[in-house]
Structure 1
């Protein structure tokens, strides 16, 4: 089984990678006999953009139950009403989840454990890209890193043992897919030598909007590099999926001023449709099996991680990030949870 870690680091410049990924690759859709009948899925941020479209596609595969996990119950309710109109046989529920709050993440995971008899699929789609520095009011961490990495990793960690028990039906492991980005391959990651590492993102004087976003996604690649030592593909298949640049999403909802909004609109015309972008997530969930465990999928196929991760320096940083992350999440016993996954 060859995964991202086993591939040779890409030596192709990011410009060519971006062009090929954005314009030359063709979607790979689920086969005609693919069915999710009887299965339950959670999609975070499913009320809009790629999350909404991914939920539609999963429901189109006869998904039996969908949990729409959103910050705004009102907006989630509107999306759920649309889903019910198109798929009246499916059970659709709206649950509150604020990815900027550790308390909300914990409450959501507890609800999953207490209220769902089975859970087969989790798509962690919710994310942000702040144009200006913003500190999370609860933790003090920079908000992009907080949502895209720390809270996402917390939720994944809390859900893994639940997925192991409630998702392994008929011998088939549960699925956990985290939305990633090809931009991880272009991350400059200038604070890679910082020790401590996570705190180095919290300095507003060193904030770089684009690179903080790229690096926040790269941190998840580093976490997954280590996670596979604790989680077996026989229990839960965990992978990362890149949708490429897509139009019609709310990732750049913080854009201000006519010039910035105009640039976003112009570049958006070059983006994939949400349907094509979201197909990358569905592909990672239904078209790829155990061979995708611990992998980064881009353009509907397994792709190497950023070249930095394969270097000696990169492996040192991976270890530092892993330990800092477990320390950050010690309040839920993250280390013990992951150790328990080995049993």
Structure 2
């Protein structure tokens, strides 16, 4: 099966045709009931509610031995962990602090994984934010959605790759699945020609509350394309997954009340439930093989990259974004980490 990189780009408009196909005309592919994750260790970020919690529940239902719930608030997450411990008493379920708006927190989280875990098989990067207001993260100076969904998620991805490579069993590549959104096909991306690119996301004149979330996901797709050229699928299979439009999540929790009401009505008639949405995570992280390396998975299948990403303009911007992102993250010797993966 061809990877997303090898497929011609999708030219179907996301609304309404692709959306209707996603929500109403796709056949779910649940894991084989005989799947056994005994002995395996998994990290799921943003896993105290919504899709992350349901994904954790489903992983444990297949006898996952050790789950790390990676979340910003330890107090709020202990209730979620307690429910899972009661349901799966034979599993080890830990809650670890991970603030995706803080480079320091991400580094501390990865250092803990390196020190305390003898094994790591799966990492599902589900944590993300959306919002209607322009806000900067004080510690980095970057706009919050851009920081969390793009810069911090790519930093965590890079830092986890060597651990997944070293601590997954021989002959079984580690698995890194990054949650994305194919709303990326709809972006306006008004600052795409800005040079340098990264500082333009911190300029309020480019902030569009509707566009910033899907743009942040597009950036992750652009970076992942190049990142997967630096790691073999024999060591770590890296893919991206689109769960579809799902109800029961907290992604729009900061939306104004009228918008929340409208979204809830729209969700009632068209959204997947969290069980179905989370099944896409397990399909990407467990069922799909090396053929999914560097691919986007949508509707439980490999999907093409966006038309923009495959264009000459997109490839040029992808190279700029890659270079600027490595410069942003050079405090961790990112080039040395990438060389170690070869």
Q: Same fold (TM over 0.5)?
A: yes
* Corresponding residue pairs, total: 340
SS at match of 1:220: helix
- Mean Cα displacement is larger for which, 10-19 or 124-133? 10-19
Gaps spanning 5+ residues in structure 2: where?
none
CA RMSD of aligned residues (A): 0.9
Listed one character per residue, the Cα deviations across residues 284-339 of structure 1 (whole Å, up to 9, x for unaligned) are 01110100000000000000011111111111001000000000000011121112
Is the contact made by 2:190 and 2:206 (CA closer than 8 Å) also made in structure 1? no
SS at match of 1:68: strand
Structure 1 runs (4+) greater than 4 angstroms displaced? none
1:237 matches 2:240:
no
User: Hey, what does 2:338 align to over in structure 1?
Assistant: 338
- Between the aligned partners of 1:182 and 1:239, the Cα distance in structure 2 is 14
- Mean Cα displacement is larger for which, 187-196 or 43-52? 187-196
1:62 matches 2:63:
yes
Deviation (angstroms), 1:129: 0.5
Is the contact made by 1:69 and 1:76 (CA closer than 8 Å) also made in structure 2? no
User: Hey, what does 1:266 align to over in structure 2?
Assistant: 265
SS at match of 1:6: coil
- How does the TM-score come out when normalised to structure 2? 0.98
Is the contact made by 1:184 and 1:214 (CA closer than 8 Å) also made in structure 2? yes
- Between the aligned partners of 1:249 and 1:261, the Cα distance in structure 2 is 12
- Between the aligned partners of 2:116 and 2:2, the Cα distance in structure 1 is 37
SS at match of 2:212: helix
User: Hey, what does 2:298 align to over in structure 1?
Assistant: 298
- Between the aligned partners of 1:209 and 1:331, the Cα distance in structure 2 is 30
Gaps spanning 5+ residues in structure 1: where?
none
SS at match of 2:302: strand
- Between the aligned partners of 2:198 and 2:36, the Cα distance in structure 1 is 41
Is the contact made by 2:28 and 2:299 (CA closer than 8 Å) also made in structure 1? yes
- Between the aligned partners of 1:243 and 1:192, the Cα distance in structure 2 is 26
SS at match of 1:145: helix
SS at match of 2:317: helix
- Between the aligned partners of 2:206 and 2:326, the Cα distance in structure 1 is 25
